[in-house]
Amino acid sequence: LGVKREVLADGRERWYGCGKETPRCFPTVHARTPQYLLAGRWTPPCCLRALRETARHVAAALEAAGVRYWLEGGSLLGAVRLGDIIPWDYDVDLGIYREDAGKCRWLAAAAAGTAVEDAEGFLWEKAAEGDFYRVHYSRSNRLHVDLWPFYPRGGVMTKDTWLGHPQDVEFPEHFLRPRVPLPFAGFTAMAPNNARAFLELKFGPGAIENPEYPNPAVKRL
């Protein structure tokens, strides 16, 4: 993957890999399985660093705008297991209340169909695959955070785009009343109030204790 670490004479580290001005280290993900997994590796450290930075930036922007969000799917799994992104993951997933999207200027622009770069160079856009949003590390580097807009219907949180992922299911709104803080990727994110029950609803019993790659049919841990 062309990634290496240099330890300098004064003890500082310098990584060679992707950055804000370069493409990410791996190509398009197929069948929820990134190329590096097929090569027997986990996520390159530069990509994990960019994902952490993007997640922290997006969460701060949402909180400042008053958008209610929470850790979703594999990102919540990582937070519960490690307090961090799962070391073979390739994106970060956050749920949001759909009605709050207009409170954030970047989300509002994306919802209107305009891809917009914020003041720090992160690119906000509506996803081509359906009714959700994607915040990229930069215009060049497409490591990203996905924002899934849910809305309550009869006490159940639902949404309009379903991609067939195992965790892509409806859930009771009581998991978000209240949301609770949880350490994640170097900052404090908001999460459902019963992470174990939430994750086992989405992934099945033992989801926390039994790690697996995103698509075991392609590559098993």
* pLDDT per residue as tens digits for the range 78-111: 999 999 999 999 999 999 999 999 999 999 999 9
**How confident is the model at residue 178, as a pLDDT?**
98
Q: How many residues does the chain have?
A: 221
35 confidence band (pLDDT: 50, 70, 90) = very high
Closest CA to 127 of 111, 109, 103, 106: 111
CA distance 13 to 46: 12
Q: Which tokens belong to 169?
A: 């299911």
Residue 47's closest CA among 3, 102, 112, 100? 3
What pairs with residue 117 in β-bridges? 123
| Per-residue pLDDT at 75 | 98
Mean pLDDT of 187-197: 98
Count of Cβ atoms closer than 10 Å to residue 125 Cβ: 20
Q: 164 pLDDT band (50/70/90 cuts)?
A: confident
What pLDDT score does 1 carry?
A: 55
**In the predicted model, what is the mean pLDDT of residues 19-30?**
93
Dist CA 150 CA 160 (whole Å): 8
Instruction: Say yes or no to pLDDT of 27 above 80.
Output: yes
Q: CB-based burial of residue 51 (10 Å sphere; 0-12 exposed, 13-18 middle, 19+ buried)?
A: buried
Say what the pLDDT of residue 2 is: 59
| Average pLDDT over all residues of the chain | 95
Q: How confident is the model at residue 205 (pLDDT cuts 50, 70, 90)?
A: very high
Q: Using the 8-state DSSP alphabet, how is residue 33 labeled?
A: B
Whether 134 shows a pLDDT value over 90: the answer reads yes
Instruction: Tell me which amino acid residue 43 is.
Output: T
User: For residue 213, what pLDDT band results from cuts at 50, 70 and 90?
Assistant: very high
Mean per-residue pLDDT, 42-56: 95
pLDDT score recorded for residue 5:
78
Which residues of 30-80 form beta strands (DSSP E)?
69-71
Q: Which of 138, 58, 53 is nearest to 95 (CA)?
A: 58
Distance between CA 221 and CA 215 in Å, rounded?
Answer: 10
For the chain, domains (ranges, CATH) are: 5-203 (3.30.460)
Instruction: Give the pLDDT score at 167.
Output: 87
Q: 67-104 b/e with 16+ CB inside 10 Å = b?
A: bbbbbbbbbbbbbbeeebbbebbbbbbbbbbbebbebb
Q: What is the CA radius of gyration of the chain?
A: 17
pLDDT number for residue 6: 84
Confidence of residue 185 (pLDDT cuts 50, 70, 90): very high
